Amino acid sequence: MKKIGGEFQIEYKQLIEIPHTGLYSEKIYFSNGRNALKYILIQLKTKEHKSTIHVPYFICKSVIETVINLGYKINFYEVSQKYELPEEYIETINEHDLVILVNYFGFSKNKIIIQKIKNYNSNIVCIEDSVQAIYEQEKSNADFTFNSFRKFFAVPDGASITYKTALEKPNQLPQNKFHYHKLIGGILKTLKPKDTDFLDLFAKGENLIDDEKGLSGISTIGCWIYENTNKTDAQKRRKENYKLLYDIGKESNIKFLFDYDPHITPLNIPIIINNRDKIRNELFRQNIFLPIHWKLDSFNKNSLTCQYISENELSLVIDQRYNSEDIIREMDALLKLINKYNGNIL
Ligand SMILES: Cc1ncc(COP(=O)(O)O)c(C=O)c1O
């Protein structure tokens, strides 16, 4: 049965077309989201001694580690019910501080709050994390925005920064070491071996990312695959899948974390259910692998939002690998389990 979810596989056929020369892109791409953020923070630290950064509790651990390793002091904020920085928080931010705002799953409308922060003090630096919102990145009004290619596309590595405030262009960065494992894992997955064969490679790649100390860039092969990926087709399919999934879910009273928005291209569709772990485990057995965002960690264990989300959120997949048949299968399986475990609806 076709697998739904999990990391992207990489079609080896597209690698056959790789030219032997001219692989380098004009653009500078970073190896991953963390490295893109690291580059922004290093650049800013040399400027006006900015050392305090405001970060939501609701974020993945890797961002926190990146910020701490660069010696920043973190002030955490709790997101509002709309999953945004609350307006009343703005007055706690000092001139020259940095603020990270996350575009969750592609749904967040940070534009208005960023404008309010800038109106309050234009020297506060806004960094929007678009790792879950690559298609929304160009619309951002933050000073800096960064993404991560492998979250949306079948590529081993890569990330880019967009900026409103001038940023020094980095020199050519050394290729990262983790792409090899992600690439081979991705290719192996197409050959349908035992799951552990490619899962071990993916895990090794993630461990290498976690252990990396310096700054690294995209691999030449990752860059080539990324630049030759048809992002418009992927976007169209994601939007169609999202619409279909939403229509089915709405009819069955699924509790979506965000209202339907035809103008965005989401990463996943987060829902809230009871008995999330039981349901998720049973879905695994039906070859449906749905992620969660995120487990609770020591830095956010007292956040009420994070406690609630870490227990009840499930991220439904709608990406370009799937057609309407797959989405119907995903929703059928989910709805049956919701009935079985009374997982509906908090
Ligand atoms: C919101 C968010 N920001 C940043 C990152 C880090 O991205 P990367 O793993 O490419 O370094 C992630 C990773 O999942 C993320 O979900």
pLDDT average, residue stretch 34-38 = 96
Do the beta carbons of residue 98 and residue 73 sit within 8 Å? no
Q: Is the CB of 167 under 6 A from ligand 1?
A: no
pLDDT digits (tens, 9 = 90+) for 7-18: 999 988 878 777
Residue 19 pLDDT more than 80?
A: no
Residue nearest to atom 7 of ligand 1 (CA): 33
Query: Burial, 163: exposed, middle or buried (Cβ in 10 Å; 0-12, 13-18, 19+)?
Result: middle
pLDDT bracket for residue 303 (50, 70, 90): very high
Q: Which of 9-13, 219-223, 301-305 has the highest mean pLDDT?
A: 301-305
pLDDT bracket for residue 23 (50, 70, 90): low
Atom of ligand 1 nearest to the CA of 59: 1
Residue nearest to atom 3 of ligand 1 (CA): 131
Do the beta carbons of residue 21 and residue 66 sit within 8 Å? no
What is the 32 CA–ligand 1 centroid distance (Å)? Answer: 8
Please give the backbone phi and psi of residue 259, each rounded to the nearest 5 degrees, phi first.
-65, 160
pLDDT bracket for residue 49 (50, 70, 90): low
d(CA 293, CA 317): 13
Residue 310 pLDDT more than 90?
A: yes
Residue 191: predicted pLDDT: 87
- Give the distance from CA 70 to its chain's centroid: 21
- Give the distance from CA 87 to its chain's centroid: 24
Residue nearest to atom 5 of ligand 1 (CA): 33
Residue nearest to atom 2 of ligand 1 (CA): 131
Residue 119: predicted pLDDT: 98
pLDDT digits (tens, 9 = 90+) for 127-174: 999 999 999 999 999 999 999 999 999 999 999 999 887 788 887 889
Residue 17: predicted pLDDT: 74
Q: Is the CB of 63 under 6 A from ligand 1?
A: yes
Residue with tokens 């569709």: 269
Do the beta carbons of residue 286 and residue 1 sit within 8 Å? yes
Q: Is the CB of 33 under 6 A from ligand 1?
A: yes
Planar angle of CA 177, 182, 183, nearest 5 degrees = 95
Least confident of 1-10, 165-174, 195-204, 237-246: 165-174
Q: Is the CB of 66 under 6 A from ligand 1?
A: no
Please give the backbone phi and psi of residue 230, each rounded to the nearest 5 degrees, phi first.
-85, 95
Residue 237: predicted pLDDT: 98
Atom of ligand 1 nearest to the CA of 36: 11
Q: For residues 248 and 22, which has the higher predicted lDDT (pLDDT)? A: 248
Q: Is the CB of 319 under 6 A from ligand 1?
A: no
pLDDT bracket for residue 1 (50, 70, 90): confident
Do the beta carbons of residue 249 and residue 279 sit within 8 Å? no
Summary mean pLDDT of the chain: 93
Among 8, 62, 127, 182, say which to mutate for ligand 1: greatest number of ligand atoms within 8 Å of CB: 62
Residue 345: predicted pLDDT: 59
pLDDT digits (tens, 9 = 90+) for 81-137: 999 999 999 999 999 999 999 999 999 989 999 999 999 999 999 999 999 999 999
Residue 344: predicted pLDDT: 63
